[in-house]
A and B are shown apart, each in its own frame.
Chain A
Amino acid sequence: RKEVEQDPGPFNVPEGATVAFNCTYSNSASQSFFWYRQDCRKEPKLLMSVYSSGNEDGRFTAQLNRASQYISLLIRDSKLSDSATYLCVVIRGGYQKVTFGTGTKLQVIP
């Protein structure tokens, strides 16, 4: 089983829709969680951290479920500019064993 797994998609959604992605991780010792966004032919960039209590940043909400070992990303009122690949990132260990998921591709359609 991969350490971090994501549905690769693509998720094709109309503008204004709400879309959710999940990411599961296999190592219960994982400590930090993030969502990154990668546009086509660009580098990954931090979208948001994921906290145990859940956190929101505008139209984006991230949640962590330690019991079931998954994190989620909810995007409300999707915009065309949200089209990208969303990478789940899991970190464990003092020297940052960093594992990226394979990414979920989102395409927002006019």
Chain B
Amino acid sequence: DTAVSQTPKYLVTQMGNDKSIKCEQNLGHDTMYWYKQDSKKFLKIMFSYNNKELIINETVPNRFSPKSPDKAHLNLHINSLELGDSAVYFCASSQVGGASTSAGNTIYFGEGSWLTVV
């Protein structure tokens, strides 16, 4: 069973389009994330949700809108796609509960969604 699954895995789309990436985790975790990994391989957090509530929103254009219908799902919608949005987007999850328990802080990643904007 895949712990964190995201779809689609590959997405090629034209500039200006709107697209969504879906993510689901079956680990019972309270916290979910979206990360972006660009061509230089730098992994940068975009959003973090705890129990459906937004807790981290890094400097991300407002064309990116996360939505968490329940704590097992965190979807990412992107409006008016630009060339610079081309990257790998990773969904991830972890237990919440502070930093006192290392096991609780383990972050599990999905396989990534490879977005190419042309």
Contacts and interface: CB of A to CB of B under 8 A. Distances in A.
B50 interface: yes
A49 B102 contact: yes
B48 A95 contact: yes
Nearest to A43: B109
A87 B69 CA distance: 31
B56 A97 contact: yes
Contact of B41 (A46, A89, A103): A103
Contacts of B42: 102
B55 A43 contact: no
Contact of B105 (A45, A96, A102, A103): A96
B98 A94 contact: yes
Interface residues of B, number: 29
Nearest to A31: B99
A43 B35 CA distance: 11
B89 to A, nearest CB: 11
B92 to A, nearest CB: 8
Interface string B5-38: 0000000000000000000000000010101000
A43 B111 contact: yes
B66 interface: no
Contacts of B100: 31
Interface in A69-110: 85, 87, 89, 91-100, 102-103
A21 interface: no
A16 interface: no
B45 interface: yes
A42 interface: yes
4 A-B pairs closest in CB distance = A31-B99, A43-B109, A49-B102, A100-B43
Given A32-B102, A46-B106, A100-B45, 9 more contacts: A31-B100, A43-B111, A45-B109, A87-B43, A100-B35, A100-B43, A102-B41, A102-B42, A103-B43
Interface of A: 31-32, 34, 36, 42-46, 49, 51, 85, 87, 89, 91-100, 102-103
